[in-house]
């Protein structure tokens, strides 16, 4: 898989003696979690993994050279059962996903590391990331952090409809790939579907509401796209990428500085 992680910050490029020499209390390790799943007719299966790597790699470049921050190899497979029925989706169950994160947390804690970031770019993993951030804290006393997507960027220029319901393979993801790996985007194969209409707030919404319905992509989107990729441009992708990278780097710096809890 292509990587934007700077070599000097790639944990897996170290040998064990170099790892042994890292300061255990202050080193911040980032575990990327993403997915290999259908992204419509126009984007590759690895879209979430590529975006994760791109954003994280560029954010790591912004950190001071002496900041002890390393990217672990990503967990490529995520909980993607919302995309079952689309060939190429490789999903793991919630229990498998959580078990992998638990085992990696156990390995890091047993090596003496204290600070771990779960950096996730696949919506289907989000609930599990929040569970595991707390469980790894409770079970292994790791100081865990959760970091999601683009770090809260506003995505200027996005329509209200796309902002609310451009869930998957829509304008933002397409723009990020146009700005970074345009050869992986088939611009002749754009399709569009929406799960809900922002102008018609119903009682039951797909997400982010007090009353929701559980959805599967195939219920709504025959092509696999939820959103509209057609307005995506490489220029917007590059702009949003710069903004996201700034936010993510600031979050990582805050995590580095975050104080240890008082000793009981």
What is the distance between the alpha carbons of residues 202 and 258, in angstroms, rounded to a whole number? 41
Least distance between Zn ion and beta carbon 198 (Å)? 20
**R_g over Cα of the chain:** 19
What is the distance between the alpha carbons of residues 8 and 93, in angstroms, rounded to a whole number? 33
6 vs 44, beta carbon nearer Zn ion: 44
**Residue whose beta carbon is closest to Zn ion:** 48
In the region spanning residues 95 to 124, those forming contacts with Zn ion, defined by CB under 5 A, are: none
In the region spanning residues 74 to 93, those forming contacts with Zn ion, defined by CB under 5 A, are: none
Least distance between Zn ion and beta carbon 37 (Å)? 7
Region of 40-48, 132-140, 141-149, 224-232 interacting with Zn ion (CB under 5 A)? 40-48
Least distance between Zn ion and beta carbon 252 (Å)? 22
Q: Rounded to an integer, what is the distance from CA 34 to the centroid of its chain?
A: 5
Out of 28, 31, 36, 48, the residue judged to bind Zn ion by CB under 5 A: 48
142 vs 226, beta carbon nearer Zn ion: 226
Least distance between Zn ion and beta carbon 142 (Å)? 27
DSSP letter string, 139-163: HH--EEEEEETTTT---TT--HHHH
Q: Are 227 and 166 in contact (CB under 8 A)?
A: yes
Residue for token pair 């791109």 = 54
Chain residues that interact with Zn ion, rule: CB under 5 A: 47-48
């Amino acid at each position: 898989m292509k990587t934007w992680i700077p070599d000097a910050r790639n944990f897996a490029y170290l040998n064990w003696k170099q790892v042994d020499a890292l300061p255990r209390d202050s080193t911040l390790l980032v575990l990327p979690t993403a997915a290999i799943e259908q992204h419509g007719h126009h984007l590759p299966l690895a879209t979430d993994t590529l975006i994760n790597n791109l954003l994280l790699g560029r954010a790591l470049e912004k950190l001071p050279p002496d900041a002890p921050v390393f990217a672990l190899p990503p967990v490529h497979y995520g909980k993607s059962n919302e995309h079952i029925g689309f060939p190429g989706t490789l999903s793991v169950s919630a229990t498998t996903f959580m078990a992998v994160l638990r085992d990696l947390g156990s390995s890091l804690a047993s090596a003496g590391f204290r600070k771990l970031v779960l950096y996730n770019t696949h919506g289907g993993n989000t609930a599990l990331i929040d569970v595991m951030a707390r469980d790894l804290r409770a079970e292994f006393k790791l100081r865990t952090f959760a970091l999601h997507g683009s770090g809260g960027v506003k995505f200027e220029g996005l329509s209200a409809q796309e902002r609310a319901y451009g869930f998957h393979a829509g304008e933002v993801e397409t723009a990020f790939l146009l700005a970074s790996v345009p050869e992986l985007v088939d611009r002749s194969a754009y399709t569009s579907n929406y799960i809900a209409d922002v102008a018609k707030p119903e009682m039951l919404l797909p997400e982010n509401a007090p009353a929701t319905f559980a959805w599967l992509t195939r219920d709504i989107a025959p092509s696999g796209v939820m959103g509209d990729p057609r307005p995506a441009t490489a220029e917007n992708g590059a702009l949003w990428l710069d903004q996201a990278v700034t936010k993510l780097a600031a979050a990582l710096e805050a995590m580095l500085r975050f104080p240890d809890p008082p000793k009981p």
